[in-house]
Structure 1
Amino acid sequence: MRIFEVVRWGNDTDHPLTGGPNGPDTCFLVRASTVEEAAEIADARLAELTHERVQPWSHAVYLLGEDLASQATASLLRGPYIQSAYCHGWRQWHRDGKDDAWREQNS
């Protein structure tokens, strides 16, 4: 299993400076085997949240590391939490639409 940070650009608050698609991002810490599985877990949670000002699906996935637990299962570990998502040189994948394929980006 791997540990990913899954990101939706922006947040759904109505604050004029920090809300909406250009505000701090909606993030999740996820344990999963693949990028697709990590996004699926986060997208299920995003579907439960309000999304009047932002899209209800994840836009980016960052690989943070490996989970060495012997009995690990895919799961949401933390989130949603709101912060500006920064990729610190990690492997990263992006998509432009909910049904688009994930594309790995160079750091």
Structure 2
Amino acid sequence: MLYSSLGFNWTKTAEALSDMAEYFTTREQQQLFSNFYKQSHTLFGSSVGTLNQALAKVESNVQWAEQRLGKLVNFLAQRNGAGGLAMASSLALVMSTILTLMFR
């Protein structure tokens, strides 16, 4: 558990989760984080504000990704050829899988 590996400190745990949330860009990741928040936010005491800010950042990231990520991937694919697209897609899949597994 993240909490125990961070010395049983809710403040450090909230900060670590917030740092990870910076990279969430899908509705699925947002939903998993939101579900975690709903189930666990009372444990964080005065650090719950850090989680609230992380939720807002995830919403911002998701909106950015929905509006611009496809265009960026297309641009990179045209610029770098199919190899660049495959690498970008693979990286996105790996990151999404890791983040999903962390919140199950």
Larger Rg: 2
Which structure has the highest helix share of the two? 2
TM-score, normalised to structure 2's length? 0.31
TM-score, normalised to structure 1's length? 0.31
Which structure has the highest strand share of the two? 1
